[in-house]
Amino acid sequence: MASPTEHEVLAAVLQIRGGTLQVLAWQRALPPDSGRWALPGGLLGDDEDVEQSVRRQLAEKVDLREVTHVEQLGVFSRPDRVPGVRRIATAFLGLVPSDADPAVPPDTHWHVLAAPAPVLANAAFDHADIVAAARDRLRAKLSYTNLGFALAPREFTISALRDLYVAALGHPVSATNLQRVLTRRAVLEPTGAVAPPGPAGGRPAALFRFTDRTLRVTDASAVLRAPSGSPGEGTRGAVP
């Protein structure tokens, strides 16, 4: 008789913290893979669908009011992904805005995803692959949707928004071109207010906000690429 197949849900929760893209993970205390870093999640309940399950289990690790966007990432079903049992995982991408600081348990920490470090060092099972898929999904959707709303505070300067895109995409982005592209897509609007002056003084920067804080496709063929000659330069339908 074949052993039963288990079904778990996992969440790669990403946030830009201190200018770097980071992922939330907790340290496993029990085998298998004890001591390794794992994504929040657990087994699917008999009375819930996968999205209900991931939201329930995320609430055990982070205040859900701080998670501005959750979407299904994919199914990970390699037969040997978890030792000793056949366990299929439905993985989700979750995003937290840069101005939030959600409380997390002592066994849970944020991990920097910037190169040259591994995507998630000392990761349990196939969780590093899930994190890489989440990072790639975020980068892709920043090009052709308004998903920047889930990374940004409610109000921001264009230079601050540019810094968030740089951290998420992993390559330089022109603030002027970013404003032009997002304004052309009707994604941004000025608030009419200005940011407090910095220590050096100067002209206060205008504050902007996203026009919509739910996901929508804005340019299905666009790619936000690196400047010419930079690592990671795109080639298809590029937005300068």
Domain residue limits, the chain = 6-137, 145-239
Q: When comparing pLDDT for 2 and 129, which is higher? A: 129
* Architecture label for domain 6-137: Alpha-Beta Complex (3.90)
How many residues appear in the chain? Answer: 240
φ, ψ dihedrals at 137, nearest 5°: -65, -45
Instruction: State mean pLDDT over 54-70.
Output: 87
Predicted confidence band of residue 201 (pLDDT cuts 50, 70, 90): low
Determine the pLDDT at residue 43. 95
In degrees, rounded to 5, the angle at the alpha carbon of residue 92 between the alpha carbons of residues 89 and 97 is 155
φ, ψ dihedrals at 58, nearest 5°: -65, -40
In degrees, rounded to 5, the angle at the alpha carbon of residue 88 between the alpha carbons of residues 84 and 90 is 145
State pTM to two decimals. 0.91
Tell me whether the omega of the peptide bond preceding residue 197 falls within 30 degrees of 0, making it cis: no
**What amino acid occupies position 107?**
D
* Architecture label for domain 145-239: Orthogonal Bundle (1.10)
Determine the pLDDT at residue 175. 95
Determine the pLDDT at residue 17. 97
Predicted confidence band of residue 224 (pLDDT cuts 50, 70, 90): confident
* Cα–Cα distance measured from residue 72 to residue 50, given in angstroms and rounded to the nearest whole number: 9
Tell me whether the omega of the peptide bond preceding residue 32 falls within 30 degrees of 0, making it cis: yes
- Checking if the pLDDT of 198 tops 80, the result is no
